[in-house]
Amino acid sequence: MASTGSCACWAAAAWGRYTSQSTFSWDDSELSQDATSLRRFRREALTAIELRHPNVVEVVDLDQAEDGTPYIAMEIVEGPDLRHALAGGAFSVDRALAIFRGVALGLGAAHAVGIIHRDVKPENILLGQRSGKPETPKLLDFGIAAMKEGATAISRTGGLMLTPEYAAPEQWKGVAPEELDGRVDVYALGGVLHEMLTGPSSFHSHNTEGWMYQHLMAEPEVPSRKRSELANWAGLDALVLMLLAKDREQRPKDVAEVLRLAEEVKVGRRDPCRTIVQVYEPTPLDEVPRPTFLQVPRVWGITSTLRAHAEAVQSLAFSPDGRILA
């Protein structure tokens, strides 16, 4: 058993369809007796039970104990959470984008059935590990996200219930839960991506007031300014900054758009080993001013030339009919 604030967790074996499960319950007696919170908890947890997606921790059951304490049972995922994985520093871009994509897919499935997570952060992302298979990011806490609005496990500031490092501006402004939409999760996911790429979180503060100011007023640092090699990935900086836009109307409208933009970043990667050169029509060697031209290696008896580029020169191979092969 583990306990954090008003929430306790048990791990137990189970027979039948589910090989193992964990159970969360709330110790906060006031919260347990709050009819509105309990109704919201039950409504979202029932929906979460129907949510089946490889990137979402599966909800097995929910109920109330004899003393009225609500609990929710979920599958056990073998592997660390993202917070522990980040203790080793920033990830490679490929790994960061793979985790980002998995979490986004899980969010998309939830949003499609009307569930907004509202607390996306590294602690709620588990990295499932199975022998011989790639790690699988799984989003935790669906079905209890609404319950957490009344729990003391999350920071309370002027009646606001949120996780300061990742809360969207509209959450800091006190927008009612029913008025929030999936772009709250998109914003938090942007913060998580920024952290996976650079190491530290996108904003920094030592108190709640500072966090509020950062999310409402300050612009996040461009990732490639913290880690220069990120500039080799076309569109990566722009993606992160779009996800972290203050105005939710400036963020991607849904997860489908998020995934499309992320795929464009992946496809548009710039390989730092490649260089761009300007190619000219083949010129007789006796007409080439040798100080400004370089001879390309002979391929199939064909010889051509390249004008020296200001940055770099790359050899080209030609087929007998004059087509560029490489």
Q: Which residues are catalytic?
A: 119
Laid out side by side, the sheet with 59-64 consists of 2-4, 7-13, 20-26, 70-74, 59-64
CB 255 within 8 Å of CB 104: yes
Nearest residue to 262 via CA among 203, 206, 197, 211: 197
In order, the DSSP letters of 110-149 are HHHTT-------GGGEEEE--TTS--EEEE--TTTTTGGG
Tokens representing 185 are 């999760």
Rounded Cα distance, 151 and 316, in Å: 65
Tokens representing 97 are 């984008």
Nearest residue to 82 via CA among 131, 120, 118, 124: 124
278: number of CA atoms within 13 Å, CB side?
A: 6
Rounded Cα distance, 196 and 206, in Å: 21
Token pair 């995922």 in the structure block, residue: 77
Query: Which segments of the chain does DSSP mark as H helices, in order?
Result: 29-32, 35-50, 82-85, 93-112, 169-172, 183-198, 208-216, 223-226, 236-243, 255-267
CB 223 within 8 Å of CB 93: no
